[in-house]
Structure 1
């Protein structure tokens, strides 16, 4: 189910067919009207607004809290959780671009997302009503990326008799992934023969990293951007320029404080875009030695920030891992060199095989890749 916005549901809101993590039946016009009437009859005009107080909400991701009453979300997979006792809940969001999509879930029913198709500016987005009167959990996740712009979270609308509960506890396990469109979930909700570029089909929540984190019960952050590389990107900045930003909207001067959150596992899944672009966009073309050194240098950046973390050098599952590709070898050489110069570092490699599928991985591929990564992390971390 996809919901646009409601400024008080008497003005109506648009709903359109969506897939239930790949297939969800189309709502009939009558069902849509009935659902609208249900929201209206729930008395959502008689609401209480719960402001973004951090005692009420659990936040996951690099979120800008410069304005505590309007925290800014920009990175894919940024997440907010809240617990409440009540019968209805809606989200108040202020979006820069009107190009962002979010998934909202009730009670961790991960196969039943309410997909929010945001409009520019401040709007209220209904998520659920006619809930049982007991305790419920709301989860909000950013599906899209920094290139779709930032969103300010302005709070929850609950029914008058509802009550906020203590903020859900954050997991002790923490995983961070530095990646490109694969990590962001570009096109992963599209059919196998569908196109890659539709915003509604980009879903970081169903990427291999997020699936792995859920399987391991871990907090998860995706520091990713479609088209980015280590040496070269489809635009004028690279991951070494981008990785330390607080906000993900383009190349900017914001600075993330790495002391605020320390992962035990860091995955680097980069070089796919480099494999396409080094010969096309770089002059002179980097030598094999320069490619190895560039990857080594990025490992160094991550190891400096997180000296105790397990660093997993990954690649795939697009054609950079095809049979005969030199790019996994560059990574292996960089890892071996780093292990020699930093004997106390914890490193490993995981390569997701290229299956011959020529587009961005779909959910079925992400699930297979997550299975491989989950098993590796379990073995290395004893999780």
Structure 2
């Protein structure tokens, strides 16, 4: 007799009351999670629960966190392949547990072989309804929003998935503070106009309307990453945009050359260190264009452009761009909010915001969002 004989296997598609967080294709056989903070959530009365996962990567492995009754109790790297992991066992079979299994690592643009899927559960219990939250938030951003550097010592400089967290970053903390469901669309190094190294392809607006358009490779294409996102199925109450940090980085980085066309791209500084007027205007125009796209996709949402955790140098340009959008469209449902800057006490790994910085940001941002909601 196997030690699993008392447990029943159920494909995810057959699990009643399964709640899915994050953008997906809608397919459950299996379920593919793409973005930071994506998750499955269940309420279950059981003594034991296992999850069948499948993971692959060429360079950057997946990590997940397991939350029981909203508390992180386990964080683990997933080996390549398909296997069962234990979510919990030996617990009181009469008690109802809220379980959330969260993707800790961002969608990896630089790794065409990276993917994460959930196939089935194995349990001795029954699933119960998961209560819907009253609000919905969408966060759009870069490495800060991906939670890069939240985990790990300050001395860490290796660019590895271990230092990312979808559970301990300001997105999850803010959503919890305002009692909201949330989704994340983010990528380290990317911006509104270009990535930190002046690559114009590294911009979030161009991929925003797809399920996960920044993923590369035929494998991710087959999984549906490039399909149009179903905005009608999930409309946020607030869209929080935290972009601009890498656009500022482009002004201070070497030029980028497109090898296919030979064209050179560079956001320039003047001799006195100020921004080149034309290049700054191009950034502002990119912000305004993205606001128009966000409004088209999310007609009733309040859009909040936030900025400031790693410096404030582009804040005047962001204010001007938002003001230009409002004047051109009479869209009054857009605002700007300044985030608290990182300090010596709150910095984390890879000179990114640490846990204390994310907590501080979540406290201030959630206070502002409560006023909107």
> For this structure pair, what is the TM-score category when the shorter chain's length is used for normalisation?
0.7 to 0.9
* 1:38-53 matches, cutoff 5 A: 43-44=3-4, 46-53=6-13
Partner of 2:248: 275
Q: Secondary structure at 1:204's aligned position in 2?
A: coil
Task: Give the distance between the partners of 1:370 and 1:117, measured in 2 at CA.
Answer: 26
Structure 1 residues 1-27: Cα deviation after superposition (integer angstroms, max 9, x where no partner): xxxxxxxxxxxxxxxxxxxxxxxxxxx
Listed as ranges, the matches of 1:150-189 within 5 Å are: 150-158=115-123, 162-189=124-151
Q: Is the 8 A contact 1:292 1:330 kept in 2?
A: yes
Partner of 1:239: 204
Task: Assess if the C-alpha contact under 8 Å between 1:191 and 1:362 holds in 2.
Answer: no
Q: CA deviation at 1:197?
A: 2.6
Residue 231 of structure 2 aligns with which residue? 258
User: 1:203 offset after TM fit, Å?
Assistant: 0.3
Counterpart of 1:56 (choices 17, 27, 35) is: 17
SS in 1 for 2:182: strand
Residue 331 (structure 1) aligned with residue 318 (structure 2)? yes
Name the counterpart of 2:99. 138
Q: In 2, Cα distance between the equivalents of 1:301 and 1:123?
A: 40
**Hey, what's the Cα distance between the residues in 2 that align with 1:278 and 1:75?**
28
What is the CA–CA distance in structure 2 between the aligned matches of 1:238 and 1:312, rounded to whole Å?
A: 18
Offset from partner CA, 1:291-323 (integer Å, 9 cap, x none): 21111111111011112111101113013x2xx
Which residue pairs with 2:187 in the alignment? 225
Distance in 1 between residues matched to 2:334 and 2:179, nearest whole Å: 22
State how far apart, in whole Å, the 1-side matches of 2:164 and 2:213 are: 16
How far apart in 2 are the matches of 1:156 and 1:116?
18
| CA pair 284-206 structure 1, distance change in 2 beyond 3 A | closer
Q: Deviations over 1:347-374 (max 9, x none)?
A: 1111113234571101100000111100
* CA 192–283 in structure 1, closer or farther in 2 if over 3 Å, else same: closer
- Alignment match, 2:32: 72
> Does the 8 A contact of 2:106 with 2:146 survive in 1?
yes
1:284–1:145 Cα change, 3 Å: closer
Instruction: Summarize the Cα distance change of 1:288–1:201 in structure 2 as closer, same or farther, 3 Å threshold.
Output: closer
The DSSP-based 3-state class of the residue aligned with 1:274 is helix
Q: Does 1:291 align with 2:308?
A: no
Q: How big is the shift at 1:42?
A: 10
Structure having the larger proportion of residues in helix: 1
Asked whether the 8 Å contact 1:196–1:360 carries over to 2, the reply is no
Partner of 2:338: 351
Shift of 1:245: 1.9
When the two structures are superposed, what TM-score results if normalisation uses the length of structure 2?
0.83
- Report which stretch shifted further, 201-210 or 54-63: 54-63
In structure 2, the partner of 1:201 is 163
Q: Which residue of 2 aligns with 1:373?
A: 365
- Between the aligned partners of 2:69 and 2:39, the Cα distance in structure 1 is 14
Q: Indicate how the Cα distance of structure 1 residues 342 and 202 shifts in structure 2: closer, same or farther if over 3 A, else same.
A: same
Asked if the contact 1:49/1:157 (under 8 Å) is kept, the reply is yes
**Deviation per residue, 1:40-90 (Å, 9 max, x gap):** x99346421121126331111112234x32011011100111122211111
Q: CA deviation at 1:138?
A: 1.4
Q: Report the count of equivalent residues.
A: 330
Q: State the alpha-carbon separation in 2 of the partners of residues 249 and 334 from structure 1.
A: 25
Q: Check if 1:127 corresponds to 2:119.
A: no
Q: Which residue of 2 aligns with 1:305?
A: 297
Report the CA distance shift for 1:137/1:380 in structure 2 as closer, same or farther (over 3 A). closer
Q: Distance in 1 between matches of 2:68 and 2:170?
A: 22
TM-score for both structures, normalised by structure 1: 0.81
Query: What is the CA-CA distance between 1:267 and the residue it aligns to?
Result: 0.6
* Aligned-partner SS, 2:181: strand
The 3-state SS of whatever aligns with 2:128 is: coil
Q: Is the 8 A contact 2:309 2:339 kept in 1?
A: yes
Q: Is the 8 A contact 1:308 1:345 kept in 2?
A: no
